[in-house]
């Protein structure tokens, strides 16, 4: 017999980036706010007031300029240092409520509430919500159910319907059909644009409609992933809680230029810069990478000549050395760079990632391997203590005028002494 399902909670910050901006600026109460992607290109977060004005997620800023002007929408560049710090405050706070927590994204966490079955779960959720509000200043919504997908669904309803005061528990309900009927299939976790189109074509509109479909049909059209989603909606857990984050299998670092460039030197600097970031992440999780991919592309939204290309290179032995990676990346750029194009974006990806065991290969490898390890360690330490990019490879440049634009950034209120909130 199946083990009895225990309650799972999903805690999710409302309009996270927009709410973070609001915490430190009282003038932003009840005002429409949007937060922009890197390069200030498109809208990636909106306060409720901005949503009400019809501003859509992912819309380019220039398309809503009129609305912004007319209604005095407050516009911010994204400030990841601030959001990252606010996120860890929220997570610390949530952790007080359950020892078993999976941090799912910057603004969401699943909690295992095993052993809490006999408590009043609504009240527990309400307490959690009030505590985050008080300690960190951010509004959160909470859904509690038997599976992750149902917790997501409950959370979604809690966020939309003010009647629930931000907390909806459907764990005890024997009959959750009413809840499944009020959620559109496109709002189900795991069902995106393509599957929504497919399902709508078959006249499936709600989460409830979806789970009436036969397993074979679902599996055939939506792979095992779709079937898993259906099972979860039927209250059968298929997706477990991962309290220890798995090491990354791929590490990507890339960014759009502030303006297009056809200059090979710029491109090379940018690539070296991205390699440095990726390699640091790799060392942080104590892994080595066997494969480096370098890619570049022109702006696909422009009419100008298009070119995009990438090259995959294998290291003789898996490595975590920035300098070794840079030298390969430079060779890669030489291979794929073409004169005469306006490049918009370059980047690198590390793959073939395995746990690090630095000493393992020394016998078979270049004698300078140990030296490289020492250099990496020292550089990481200096940058950690004295600030990012205190020390870096010359190849990564110093001017970096190709760097991303962020003209509308709020101060780093919580992490930088010079930008503390003045009272």
Partner DNA sequence: TCTGGGGTCCTAGGACCC
Q: Which residues bind DNA (CB under 7 A)?
A: 37-39, 41-42, 44, 58, 60-62, 65, 104-108, 152, 188-196, 219, 223-225, 246, 248-256, 260, 277, 281, 299, 301-302, 312, 344-345, 347, 404
The minimum distance between CB 278 and DNA, in angstroms, equals: 8
DSSP per residue over 30-67, as a string?
Answer: TS-EEEE-GGG-BEEEE-HHHHHTTPPTT-BGGGGHHH
Specify the residue, 254 or 322, whose C-beta has the smaller distance to DNA: 254
The minimum distance between CB 271 and DNA, in angstroms, equals: 12
Specify the residue, 58 or 340, whose C-beta has the smaller distance to DNA: 58
> Distance between CA atoms of 80 and 85, rounded to whole angstroms?
8
Specify the residue, 49 or 108, whose C-beta has the smaller distance to DNA: 108
Contact by Cβ (8 Å): 123, 23: no
Specify the residue, 191 or 231, whose C-beta has the smaller distance to DNA: 191
The minimum distance between CB 312 and DNA, in angstroms, equals: 7
Local structure of 7: helix, strand or coil: coil
> Distance between CA atoms of 184 and 75, rounded to whole angstroms?
30
Specify the residue, 23 or 260, whose C-beta has the smaller distance to DNA: 260
The minimum distance between CB 141 and DNA, in angstroms, equals: 12
* Of 129, 103, 107, 125, nearest in space to 116 by CA: 125
Task: Supply angle C-alpha 10, 13, 14, rounded to 5.
Answer: 120
Specify the residue, 41 or 137, whose C-beta has the smaller distance to DNA: 41
The minimum distance between CB 140 and DNA, in angstroms, equals: 13
> Distance between CA atoms of 74 and 96, rounded to whole angstroms?
34
The minimum distance between CB 67 and DNA, in angstroms, equals: 14
- Helical pair 369-386 and 264-284, crossing angle rounded to 10 deg: 90
> Distance between CA atoms of 108 and 155, rounded to whole angstroms?
11
């Amino acid at each position: 017999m199946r083990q009895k399902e225990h309650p799972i909670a999903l805690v999710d910050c409302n309009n996270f980036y927009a709410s973070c901006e609001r915490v430190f600026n009282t003038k932003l109460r009840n005002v429409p706010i949007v937060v922009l992607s890197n390069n200030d290109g498109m809208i990636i977060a909106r306060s409720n007031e901005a949503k009400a004005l019809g501003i859509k997620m992912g819309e380019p800023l220039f398309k809503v300029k009129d609305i912004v002007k007319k209604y005095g929408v407050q516009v911010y560049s994204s400030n990841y240092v601030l959001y990252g710090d606010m996120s860890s405050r929220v997570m610390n706070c949530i952790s007080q409520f359950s020892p078993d927590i999976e941090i799912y994204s910057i603004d969401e966490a699943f909690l295992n509430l095993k052993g809490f079955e006999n408590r009043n779960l609504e009240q527990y959720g309400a307490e959690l919500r009030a505590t985050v509000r008080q300690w960190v200043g951010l509004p959160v919504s909470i859904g509690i159910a038997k599976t992750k997908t149902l917790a997501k669904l409950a959370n979604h309803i809690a966020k939309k319907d003010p009647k629930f005061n931000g907390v909806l528990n459907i764990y005890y309900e024997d009959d959750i059909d009413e809840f499944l009927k009020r959620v559109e299939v496109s709002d189900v976790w795991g069902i995106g644009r393509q599957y929504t189109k497919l399902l709508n074509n078959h006249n499936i509109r709600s989460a409830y409609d979806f789970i009436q479909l036969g397993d074979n049909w679902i599996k055939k059209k939506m792979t095992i992933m779709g079937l898993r989603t259906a099972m979860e909606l039927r209250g059968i857990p298929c997706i477990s809680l991962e309290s220890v984050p798995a090491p990354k299998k791929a590490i990507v670092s890339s960014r759009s230029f502030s303006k297009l460039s056809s200059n090979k030197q710029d491109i090379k600097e940018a690539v070296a810069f991205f390699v440095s970031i990726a390699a640091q992440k790799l060392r942080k999780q104590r892994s080595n990478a066997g494969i480096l991919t370098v890619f570049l592309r022109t702006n696909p939204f422009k009419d100008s000549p298009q070119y995009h290309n990438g090259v995959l290179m294998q290291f003789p032995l898996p490595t975590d050395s920035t300098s070794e990676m840079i030298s390969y990346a430079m060779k890669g750029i030489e291979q794929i760079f073409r004169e005469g194009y306006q490049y918009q974006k370059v980047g690198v990806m590390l793959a073939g990632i395995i746990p690090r065991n630095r000493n393992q290969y020394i016998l078979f490898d270049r004698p300078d391997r140990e030296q490289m390890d020492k250099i990496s360690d020292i550089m990481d330490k200096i940058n950690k203590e004295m600030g990012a990019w205190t020390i870096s490879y010359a190849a990564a440049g110093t001017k970096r005028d190709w760097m991303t634009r962020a003209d509308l950034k709020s101060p780093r209120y919580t992490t930088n002494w010079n930008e503390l909130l003045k009272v």
